[in-house]
Amino acid sequence: MAEKYSTLLPRFLKYVKVETRSDPESDAIPSSPKETAFLKQLETELKSLGLSNVRINPNNSYLLATIPANVKGVPTIGFLSHVDTADFNAHGVNPQVIKDYDGKSVIPLGNSGKYQLDPQEFPSLKNYAGKTLITTDGTTLLGADDKSGVAEIITMAEYLLAHPEIKHGTIQIGLSPDEEIGTGADHFDVDDFGADFAYTVDAGPLGELEYETFNAAAAKIDITGKNVHTAIAKGAMVNAIQLAIDLHELLPEHDRAERTEGREGFYHLYRLDGTVDHAQMNYLIRDHDKAKFEERKQHLREVVDRINKRCGSKRVTLDLYDQYHNMREVLKDHMDVVEIAKQAMENLHIKPVIYPVRGGTDGSTISFMGLPTPNLFAGGENMHSRYEYVSLETMEAAIDVMLEIIKLNVSR
């Protein structure tokens, strides 16, 4: 397999060393100039490989390219991934390559002695006996989310162009910024992309096939306190930090990310900053069930109203907005797109792993724009952390699945 996709590993190692962390505080598109620079680098690479119509859309910064059809009358497939990485240190990524891992040994991450991948703590390592693993050195994330997908899609395109005997319809490729901050797909242009159906290549381990995601909202809460000297505080001080604590305690104690699983939804307080005078809270709200999702948002509104009523004035303001919705609402009417991917995996003796995802992908937003877009595995494990790793063989399998989907699309 390594000879078949000989450019995959060096391509991936090159990509992850380029810092492309997105910036949630920016309103620019892309949110970081580092993403712009990387997209331009990839644009040059795609042109050198011989793809057609390679361009960066000036309105949304998607890098787009086409592999023209060599057979007529076949639906157009799209493959998408994102170039940005998440909110963990991404500067100075120094990947380690462990060949022929035995599936049981502890893997030191770098030379500091502080961090390691231990199968006792990360049992997924036991699935990779005999495989080549790419890990971090313990100081950064790896960036397999989603530079594994980027490398896989580009390597797939390179292979397809080098093998014109493989019959295929038109293939569209899209590489996006700002997926990790939830804004990249908001600007996606379905008509410009020009596919009949698509797949994001952004899921985790071997076999993952996702078409059911969370409904997602975010909440920004601003609290105005009143700071006076503690000697005369009674009846006069309004402690913004205490109001934040009180608000959080009015939410269901069980419904937190760290206490839920499966289809259980939650409120996730991921940031709290404040002084007596002023505090800010940031929440993620998640649920697979649309009705429960709406109930969660309404409950948070009622909690804020309750705090304000107790204060006798509007000291708490809530900015609540939806981020994405459960793609199953769309894909239930386009299950043929899921079935092609499932059949492709089964043809390759890969067991499809299908379950409700406790998260979302660009495919969630894009599916609601009218382009059915389930999510295929890209291989990453322990994403968004110093413990992130990916198997080279799983990345190769992702390319095999894409090529099999392309072949099945011709024959159906």
Instruction: Kindly list the distances between the CA atom of residue 43 and the CA atoms of 22, 51, 275, 412, in Å, as whole numbers in the listed order.
Output: 19, 10, 47, 32
Cβ proximity of 160 and 168 under 8 Å: yes
Rounded Cα gap, residues 141 and 132, in angstroms: 18
263, 176: one domain: no
Catalytic residue among 19, 45, 84, 388: 84
pTM, rounded to two decimals: 0.91
pLDDT above 80 (res 2) = no
Q: Range of 161's domain?
A: 8-212+326-411
Rounded Cα gap, residues 242 and 272, in angstroms: 12
Residues 6+ apart with CB under 8 A from 63: 39, 42, 43, 46, 54, 55, 56, 83, 173, 174, 175, 176
What is the predicted pLDDT for the residue at 1? 46
* Residue 94 in domain: yes
226, 270: one domain: yes
Cβ proximity of 39 and 56 under 8 Å: yes
Residues 116-124 have a mean pLDDT of 97
Task: State the total domains in the chain.
Answer: 2
CATH number at residue 330: 3.40.630.10
Confidence tier at 288 by pLDDT (50, 70, 90): very high
Q: Is 264 a catalytic residue?
A: no
Rounded Cα gap, residues 284 and 268, in angstroms: 5
Dihedral (CA of 165, 166, 172, 173) sign: negative
Vertex 375: Cα angle to 372 and 381 (nearest 5): 170
127, 177: one domain: yes
pLDDT above 50 (res 401) = yes
35, 161: one domain: yes
Residues 214-231 have a mean pLDDT of 96
Cis amide linkage into residue 30, ω under 30° from 0? yes
269, 281: one domain: yes
pLDDT tens digits for 76-115? 999 999 999 999 999 999 999 999 999 999 999 999 999 9
SS3 268: strand
pLDDT above 50 (res 63) = yes
Instruction: Kindly list the distances between the CA atom of residue 204 and the CA atoms of 146, 196, 199, 223, 376, in Å, as whole numbers in the listed order.
Output: 10, 25, 14, 38, 8
SS3 370: coil
55, 196: one domain: yes
109, 166: one domain: yes
Confidence tier at 257 by pLDDT (50, 70, 90): very high
Q: Which of 376, 380, 372, 381 is nearest to 403 (CA)?
A: 376
Q: Which of 284, 283, 372 is nearest to 327 (CA)?
A: 372
Q: Which residue has the tokens 């095999």?
A: 400
Amino acid identity, position 237:
M
pLDDT above 50 (res 253) = yes
Residues 6+ apart with CB under 8 A from 216: 182, 284, 285, 286, 322, 323, 324, 325, 360, 364
Q: Which residue has the tokens 């649309």?
A: 290
223, 307: one domain: yes
> DSSP of 134-155, one letter per residue?
EE--SSS---HHHHHHHHHHHH
Q: Which of 304, 324, 344 is the last residue of a domain?
A: 324
* Residue 3 in domain: no
> 116-117 and 375-377: which strand pairing?
unpaired
Residues 401-412 have a mean pLDDT of 95
Rounded Cα gap, residues 239 and 162, in angstroms: 66
Residues 363-389 have a mean pLDDT of 96
Cβ proximity of 110 and 138 under 8 Å: yes
286, 364: one domain: no
What is the predicted pLDDT for the residue at 360? 84
Catalytic residue among 35, 152, 179, 381: 179
Amino acid identity, position 287:
D
Q: Which of 291, 309, 324 is the last residue of a domain?
A: 324
24, 60: one domain: yes
3-state helix, strand, coil in the chain (%, to 5): 35, 20, 45
Q: Is 339 a catalytic residue?
A: no
* Residue 116 in domain: yes
